[in-house]
Structure 1
């Protein structure tokens, strides 16, 4: 069985993550590429597509092709819902890049469309497929940490503001580091805890360093006039069962404690963190212990072990879910909760008060 895939949005995330990963799979062919910039779509076809792949600048025209089985949505956040919903109703399975949508209302509409059409929908949280993430999730699922009542979601950059595309455009993206990289850390933390029932959220989004001119930055100084999103944001989430989650996200912050797409967990039987590799801690026979998990499988000169990168594993898992008619690893119901919490942090910051999510 060969699945025919259409790519909508041929920018950086498609070129660097989705298309290279799909290209490795023998079960798929990329037969259509759509981008508002026709040159980008054409370049994507030349690099990743079949010889007869089609080029589009209007995604609605692409969706008319009944031979296409799967759509990958790799556009700015404000069009995730519109394109995903249209694709689902066009009888296509959909992989949408993170976050699920700009707003929770849009995310809920995506979930409803998936239910109505019976097509599969997943969101691009590829960090679940890292070796440390998979190992830690298995530990949590087996109950080794006990009842996990504290989670910390880390997404801190000292000075790494993306200055290209629409990252600094609040209308297109819905926010800055919180919705961009905070979303990965929060997804990991909720997944490890197995808890998707938030009660209320308190949060603050800051514009403290965005006005800095000629700032030190990984991709060169940003333009303060174009920096319309927060430079950092922090949230405290109380779950219905009383568990707490702290979320920290920044593109620019005066801190040496950096790291993104990481989680720290505390449970009744033990704890874990990704701050320095993967560490597990606890108490045994009246003594405290910590253990460092060796994530590399090598140990031989000139050989580092075998293992695919997270993006490739994500793509393989997604395609297998379609072929075998199983649930994707990232369920849309879970991604919806991530979007609800992120939206609540922004709203709490705006209102200066807690935001309740309990129905």
Structure 2
């Protein structure tokens, strides 16, 4: 079988931190034949490190997608351009992996969804946290009915002081918002996926701009308060049509010790589940709880044990995400992250911002 030819649009931090590393491990299945970035040097650097022989570089994505040899593209640009580039790539006959969030608002996300349906090309969104080991196990538990009907959930995306100071993260026009759209999107995606419930009745929320001057202890170094255009924290309350509720919390800067990112707490009619941070490693930890033989029990599964000096097969969530995406194309099957699901995540986030702006509850029409 011939290798899939991949084009990369956007050669910044997320390209190098996740996508290029993961695709490089799939060299038997894919080759990266084109790179595009508005800064040519970044495209050239990525091409030299990860490109196939003869790989091309561009500063205009429209030239890249005109290459008929390219099968799929990864859209790794600021949020404001996700929709435009994705729609153009789909119309050009390419499958598209687009980084999260799907788009800067629900209308642009809808444009992407419609284009995928119209062209018949595959579209997925970069919610790699679904592919964490404990996340996959929890999904299996939910599918098997271990928790029963999940009627109450909390979506956690809380940093104490970790405001990203590079790129355009603090630029409201280019990103659409701050921690809510940046990391809250991961927590909400996980929670909806576990509940398997995308029928939303109403949304209310609040956003805060309170700590922009408290920048001395930031993980990524001090930021310029004058450039901090987006919220530092936000919360949302989501009511589903069947009465289930979700509380979503997100922050880049918040005076709290309960720090959890891309995690969820689920309460069902038979049992519950909670993602926490491991007290030593800081990695996600899964705790299941239930009643058994008249007693309350807590179960903590062991994840990916290894033997000293021998180790184990190393595959992180980014690797699993890339492999599943490439297999979905090659085997003509649905990607794990469906665009309809990502569309609802974007719609809810937009409704939280709208509720915060107006001070009113926002009613939604489900898909």
Choose the corresponding residue for 2:65, options 63, 66, 84.
63
Choose the corresponding residue for 2:327, options 299, 320, 323.
320
Match of 1:227? 228
- Asked whether 1:296 is paired with 2:304, we answer yes
- Structure 1 contact 156–248 (Cα < 8 Å) conserved: yes
Q: Structure 1: how far apart are the matches of 2:191 and 2:199?
A: 13
Q: Structure 2: how far apart are the matches of 1:357 and 1:215?
A: 40
- Asked whether 1:155 is paired with 2:163, we answer no
Match of 1:122? 124
Where do 1:27-42 residues align within 5 Å?
A: 27-42=29-44
Q: Structure 2: how far apart are the matches of 1:210 and 1:338?
A: 27
The count of corresponding residues between Structure 1 and Structure 2 is 357
Q: Structure 2: how far apart are the matches of 1:230 and 1:15?
A: 27
Q: Structure 2: how far apart are the matches of 1:239 and 1:289?
A: 29
Q: Deviations over 1:103-149 (max 9, x none)?
A: 00000110000000000000000000000000000000011100000
- Bigger drift between 29-38 and 305-314 goes to 305-314
Choose the corresponding residue for 2:210, options 208, 211, 220.
208
Match of 1:113? 115
Match of 1:186? 188
- Bigger drift between 270-279 and 227-236 goes to 270-279
Q: Deviations over 1:241-286 (max 9, x none)?
A: 1000010000000000001010110000000001141110011122
Kindly report the root-mean-square deviation, in angstroms, between the aligned alpha carbons of the 2 structures. Answer: 0.9
Q: Structure 1: how far apart are the matches of 2:143 and 2:88?
A: 36
Q: Structure 2: how far apart are the matches of 1:155 and 1:84?
A: 26
Q: Structure 2: how far apart are the matches of 1:104 and 1:31?
A: 32
State the Cα distance separating 1:358 from its structure 2 match.
2.6
Query: Is there any run of 5+ residues in structure 1 with no aligned partner, and where?
Result: none
Match of 2:282? none
State the Cα distance separating 1:215 from its structure 2 match.
2.5
Match of 2:250? 249
Match of 2:286? 278
Q: Structure 2: how far apart are the matches of 1:302 and 1:290?
A: 32
SS at match of 2:181: helix
Q: Structure 1: how far apart are the matches of 2:272 and 2:37?
A: 45
Query: Is there any run of 5+ residues in structure 2 with no aligned partner, and where?
Result: 278-284
Normalization by structure 1: what TM-score? 0.98
State the Cα distance separating 1:287 from its structure 2 match.
1.2
Q: Structure 2: how far apart are the matches of 1:303 and 1:273?
A: 31
State the Cα distance separating 1:73 from its structure 2 match.
0.0
Match of 1:343? 350
SS at match of 1:100: coil
